[in-house]
């Protein structure tokens, strides 16, 4: 879900994600309003996302982790629900744990896209990796658009404004 959102942001702002030498990610630079934004989708396994994030922050001169926005799927939210969060725990999300371990902080912004809990006794990893059904795909497609809107609002107005708008209901 995170990668889909980043690709959508690149499309919206005339960018194209491409492999960049020395980076473990597909990268694009775009403008969102008056702001220069680096978009990236790690090419590592999700559980090793931090290995891509840390060099990207260095490459783009980002020293404040609060300027990093991570978009990710979230089992603890119903499918299609969007929430914005700053800092806090990682709730067992291996990709977020990797980013936190590499940065030595969890003080980054997250745009969480709900995918719901796995049915029955299905493992979380299997649920995340399965192909969603048609109705769920449509719901998640809308969620990707909304998540992209949330990222744009974070960039232009700040995380607090995005939390006010997207964490209400």
7 or 116: which leads in pLDDT: 7
Q: Are 29 and 37 in contact (CB under 8 A)?
A: yes
Range of the domain at 23: 2-166
| Region class of 4: left (phi > 0), else alpha (psi between -120 and 50), else beta | alpha
Burial 91-109 (b: 16+ CB within 10 A, else e): eebebbbbbbebbeebebb
pLDDT of residue 92: 85
149 CB-near residues (< 8 Å, 6+ apart): none
Condensed to tens digits (0 to 9), the pLDDT of residues 122-162 reads 555 544 445 656 666 688 889 999 999 999 999 999 999 99
Q: How far are the Cα atoms of 50, 51, 98, 135 from residue 45, in angstroms, in the given order?
A: 10, 10, 10, 28
Query: How many domains are contained in the chain?
Result: 1
Work out the burial of residue 88: count CB atoms within 10 Å of its CB; fewer than 13 is exposed, 13-18 middle, 19 or more buried: exposed
pLDDT of residue 134: 63
**What pTM, to 2 d.p., does this model score?**
0.90
DSSP string computed for 101-147? HHHT---SEEEEEE--PPSTT--HHHHHHSPPPHHHHHHHHHHHHHH
DSSP 96: H
CATH for 101: 3.40.50.1470
Condensed to tens digits (0 to 9), the pLDDT of residues 10-44 reads 999 999 999 998 899 999 999 999 999 999 999 99
């Amino acid at each position: 879900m995170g990668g889909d959102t980043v690709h959508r942001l690149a499309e919206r702002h005339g960018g194209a994600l491409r492999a960049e030498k020395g980076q473990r990610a597909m990268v694009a630079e775009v403008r969102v309003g008056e702001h220069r934004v680096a978009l990236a989708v790690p090419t590592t396994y999700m559980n090793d996302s931090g290995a891509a994030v840390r060099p990207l922050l260095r490459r783009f001169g980002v020293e404040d982790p609060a300027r990093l926005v991570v978009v990710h799927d979230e089992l603890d939210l119903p499918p299609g629900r969007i929430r914005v969060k700053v800092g806090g725990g990682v709730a067992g999300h291996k990709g977020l744990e990797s980013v936190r371990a590499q940065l030595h902080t969890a003080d980054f912004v997250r745009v969480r896209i709900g995918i719901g809990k796995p049915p029955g006794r299905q493992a979380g990893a299997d649920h995340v990796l399965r192909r969603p059904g048609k109705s769920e795909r449509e719901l998640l497609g809308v969620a990707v658009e909304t998540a992209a809107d949330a990222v744009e609002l974070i960039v232009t107005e700040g995380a607090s404004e995005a939390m006010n708008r997207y964490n209400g209901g």
